[in-house]
Amino acid sequence: MIIVLKPNSSAAVIDHVLERIRELGLKPHLSTGEHRTIIGVIGDENKLQTQPLQAIPGVEQVLPIMKPFKLASREFNKKDTVVQLGKVKIGGGSLAMIAGPCAIESLAVLDEIAGAVKKAGANILRGGAFKPRTSPYSFQGLGEDGLKYLRDIGVKHDMPVVTEVMDPRQIPLVERYADMFQIGARNMQNFDLLKEIGQTKKVVLLKRGMSATVKDLLMSAEYVLSEGNPNVVLCERGVRSFEDSTRNMLDMSAVPNVKGQSHLPIIVDPSHATGRPDLIPALAMASVAAGSDGVHIEVHSCPEKALSDGPQALLPPKYAEVMAQIRKLAEILGRTF
């Protein structure tokens, strides 16, 4: 449910409405806009059926939200949310261009890749310190050493950094080094992890699960939002299908589909979607054309020696070509990065 307050409502009126909601055992979420203040109400809305909240001075309208995801819904926020990550804006016409290796392997390799992608126009550096691998014998990441390398290289190249967190117990450690948490596809419905992440204020990159619907993705975002963290960026990274010539099937319709239902920014990861570097350039361009708020691409200076997902990584010169093309398209569409 949404409670819309009259323009220029006083702080006393707002506090009174918040107090009444809490008295009913419900959770209010205050959103103050340029001209309007709205309050999202989370919990058993049946408790509100007999409560004349619209009779409270300052309340203009009480509206139900029909979708199961309340705070993520377009009804809750008509304007697109813009997430601030250091100097980088995500959403509202500003593109998050995330690039880097799948796994952090060494300080020197990460430094080389970071320098190349920054020069090409990337504005966020990615790298995995903890790697969820299908095989327990595969490279699992460098752990805290990898996080230290990522932090140091991010500072050197003046880029905010994003890395995956896999377990609630890792949150304090990752939070110490990273600017942005990544929730991977395998953890999209790890609700304990989502709730813990929601209690931080750090920006969250939430990837769509391999068999998840758009509704499932938005419900997972709701877990983070309902705990008080509004800084959620969604990511389409392909879903399982019967097609076997690509790693997954990139659901490009998810971008306008999400934007029609939610105010949250959404980016696209064509690297994990396809697993094929020959397809990444076209799909990166298509992502921006479809309205995505950024593109996530894996880049490695020597893919044949990469310890994780080398076959899907672009070489730095190819990444620079793709970024030059995206820049031209972004200018036509009135987007910036």
> Regarding predicted confidence, which is higher, 274 or 44?
274
For residues 80 and 229, is the Cβ–Cβ distance under 8 A? no
Residue 58 has pLDDT above 70, yes or no: yes
User: Which of 173, 135, 133 shows the shortest CA–CA distance to 151?
Assistant: 173
Give the pLDDT of residue 35.
Answer: 73
DSSP 6: P
d(C-alpha 201, C-alpha 179), whole Å: 10
Domain 83-333, CATH 3.20.20.70 — does that match? yes
> Regarding predicted confidence, which is higher, 40 or 207?
207
Domain 2-63, CATH 3.30.70.1140 — does that match? yes
> Regarding predicted confidence, which is higher, 129 or 137?
129
Residue 142 has pLDDT above 70, yes or no: yes
pLDDT tens string 231-257: 999 999 999 999 999 999 999 999 999
**Could you tell me the residue ranges of all domains in the chain?**
2-63, 83-333
For residues 108 and 277, is the Cβ–Cβ distance under 8 A? no
pTM of the model: 0.88
User: Which of 292, 205, 188 shows the shortest CA–CA distance to 250?
Assistant: 292
pLDDT tens string 72-116: 999 888 899 999 999 999 999 999 999 999 999 999 999 999 999
Least confident of 156-170, 215-229, 299-313: 299-313
Residue 139 has pLDDT above 80, yes or no: no
**Torsion of the alpha carbons at 62, 68, 74 and 80, rounded to the nearest 10:** 120
User: Which of 277, 278, 282 shows the shortest CA–CA distance to 298?
Assistant: 277
pLDDT tens string 278-319: 999 999 999 999 999 999 999 999 888 877 777 889 999 999
Task: Calculate mean pLDDT across residues 45-68.
Answer: 77
d(C-alpha 189, C-alpha 203), whole Å: 18
Task: Calculate mean pLDDT across residues 27-33.
Answer: 85
User: Which of 234, 312, 225, 319 shows the shortest CA–CA distance to 281?
Assistant: 319
